[in-house]
Amino acid sequence: MSDFFSAIKAGIGFLTTFPVGIDVDGMQKLSAHAYVFPFIGALIGLVVGCIGLVLQHLPSYLCSALLIVVLYCITGLNHLDGLMDFGDALLTHDSVEEKIRVMRDPSIGVGGSVFCMMSLLILFSAIATLQQNILFALLVAEICAKQSMVTAATFGRSIHKGLGSIFVDNVTKHDFLIGLVFSTMVCWLALGIGGVVALSASLSSALIVVHLANHNFGGICGDVLGAINEMGRIVALVVGGAAWTLL
């Protein structure tokens, strides 16, 4: 039980900017209990969603913009940075080795800038259209994003040693199934079939990105996991929004 709570603490330190403290031992415990990712996603979603309830009385576009600021103040920019690195590498027309070098380069190119801009624009638009379900929509979106990372780590393979490989090399199908059961239950309770559709779409997007990463880089790394987190959130909001409207 102590390992579980240590994993939760490390996960909060890793996935948010909350000053709970994090060390190598905590990261190892987190990688051994990766099913806690969607639990932490639920915490993030609840915090941001409750703030959304307060801000929803503002004009929709202003509310959406402020919520994005709140979201990244809470989660940090590491995963968005991973998305930009992934975008740069994916759009590089060269060898696998060169693509990996570009992804590890700290500078941001055109591909990364475009990926970031498109991500923020779609996120902004999606949140702006979901004000009636703002709390549950953000709760589901964050759970989907984190379960997408667990999915990628389960079915992907690491390309080099680093922070990403700690998870990719240690996450098991047992972690995936526990996280999936929790994610499915909460998404269903929050938004019914629309929540389950959002989760399914997010996990599908994670598997697609894993396939792209295998083809372009030979596997996945921390930057790819960060990109999957950002994409999983957006896919959940967009597809879930459409499902909630139609169902």
What is the average per-residue pLDDT within 203-228?
Answer: 91
What is the average per-residue pLDDT within 91-115?
Answer: 83
pLDDT digits (tens, 9 = 90+) for 12-39: 888 898 887 776 676 778 878 888 999 9
Mean pLDDT of the chain: 88
pLDDT at 227 over 90: yes
pLDDT at 123 over 90: yes
What is the average per-residue pLDDT within 157-166?
Answer: 74
- Long-range contacts made by residues 2-10, C-beta under 8 angstroms, separation at least 24? 3/29, 3/32, 3/33, 4/33, 4/36, 7/32, 7/33, 7/36, 8/36, 8/39, 8/40
What is the average per-residue pLDDT within 118-146?
Answer: 91
Nearest 10 degrees: CA dihedral of 235, 236, 238, 239?
Answer: 100
pLDDT at 164 over 70: no
pLDDT at 166 over 80: no
pLDDT of residue 31: 78
Domain housing 160 = 2-246
Closest by CA position to 27, among listed 179, 162, 176, 182: 162
**Greater confidence, 18 or 162?**
18
DSSP assignments along 178-202, one per residue: HHHHHHHHHHHHHHTHHHHHHHHHH
Closest by CA position to 145, among listed 219, 85, 71, 88: 71
For the entire predicted model, the pTM comes to 0.92
The answer to whether 76 and 17 are in contact (CB under 8 A) is yes
Q: How many domains does the chain have?
A: 1
Element (H, E) at 244: helix 222-246
Q: How confident is the model at residue 66 (pLDDT cuts 50, 70, 90)?
A: very high
pLDDT of residue 104: 84
